[in-house]
Amino acid sequence: MMGDRLELYNNVCLECSRITTNRYSTSFSLGTRLFDRPTRDAIYAIYGFVRFADEIVDSFHQFNKPELLALFKADTYKAIEEGISLNPILQSFQLVVNQYSIDRHLIDAFLQSMEMDLNPTTYDRNKIGEYIYGSAEVVGLMCLNVFCNGDQVKYEKLYQPARRLSAAFQKINFLRDIGEDFNDLGRVYFPNVDFNNFTAEQKLQIEADIQSDFDAALLGIKMLGSNSKLGVFVAYRYYLSLFNKIKRIPPNKLLGKRYRISNTKKMLLLASSWAGVKIGLI
């Protein structure tokens, strides 16, 4: 009976992570629904954890953000060590961390990047590499732990492509969110770029870097198993479509609007991605 109640509690917590994913990111949840059930549930748990930490540093301006993040960090490690939390998001996350043996270093690096976001800054090349690794690449590696499910040989083979895909996603987010990051939060994530004088040449250099990440990532996507390939490929196609849209926008227009992909376009990308995977093109 006690085991049944714990299972019920875990399911309720997982539902909180699923709702968090669906409410905060229709695009991410679209790809996540294409994973098999165990994979899907684990990715919901990872996203919920990441989203709540990100909300602390990006949204709760009327509260003591450093104190909130420190409390969230302490509660995260306590949940992982004790195997239980009354925070449903952390309960879901610790279950996944412990089931899939997610390395503590990945969690440390992610939370460190959140701490970096507490203070407005202009990143140099060394710092931005550290930030992207912690804010995005380690999240991709957490997901890769789930996709590989203990297959260490496969994990090592896909380690670099997973990092490159996550980096591409993050850099596109930087371009898409330039207005909010620069004007509202005082952050400049691209080294040696003055967004008051953002040039076409600078934008092209950034885009070439992102395209290189995409090219490397696609090689890894092709090696994923059936539990995850379609979902990751849909996310890749979505961000590639957003990237192509952003490439057509003049530099001076990026600061004034947050560009998106329409729901109709997303459905078309989903259908064509499904067909590509099913007939073996991917």
99-146 pLDDT, tens digit each: 999 999 999 999 999 999 898 677 777 889 999 999 999 999 999 999
Greater model confidence, 227 or 78? 78
Greater model confidence, 85 or 188? 85
Predicted confidence at residue 110, as pLDDT, reads 98
Number of independent structural domains in the chain: 1
Contact 224/147 with Cβ under 8 angstroms? Answer: yes
* CATH code of the domain containing 73: 1.10.600.10
Distance CA 69, CA 129 (A): 22
Q: pLDDT class for 252, splitting at 50, 70, 90?
A: confident
Domain that holds residue 173: 2-278
Distance CA 83, CA 60 (A): 28
Question: At residue 62, does pLDDT exceed 90?
Answer: yes
Predicted confidence at residue 164, as pLDDT, reads 97
Q: In the numeric block, which tokens belong to residue 252? A: 């001076």
**Torsion 248-251-252-257 (CA) sign:** positive
